[in-house]
Amino acid sequence: MSASISIRIDQELYDQAKQDAEIEHRSISGQIEFWAKLGRAAIDNPDLPISFIAESLASMREPREQAQPFIPRSRK
């Protein structure tokens, strides 16, 4: 069980998180946590495209039974 805390954030950021959370089927706090993880990973890996990092984080959240095997482009 994870602990929760309250923080103050800019209303505009909250509104954007709410909008994106609905699109991504996340809670508002889940959306902000995703952004924080994405930002941290981007800082830790400055040579990787942000889209690659975002897709990698999203794929790590997928249940294993829904995962699709990797097929190299050369085999398609």
SS3 call for 27: coil
Residue 30 lies in a domain: yes
**How many domains is the chain built from?**
1
**DSSP calls for 51-68:** HHHHHHHHHHHS-GGG--
Residue 16 lies in a domain: yes
Give residue 19's identity as a one-letter amino acid code: Q
Residue 47 lies in a domain: yes
SS3 call for 11: helix
Tokens 């941290």 appear where?
A: 40
d(CA 32, CA 42): 15
State the pLDDT at residue 48.
94
Residue 2 lies in a domain: no
Judged against a pLDDT cut of 80, whether residue 66 lies above it is answered with: no
d(CA 36, CA 59): 16
Residue 74 lies in a domain: no
Residue 53 lies in a domain: yes
pTM: 0.70
Judged against a pLDDT cut of 60, whether residue 76 lies above it is answered with: no
Residue 75 lies in a domain: no
Domain that holds residue 37: 11-61
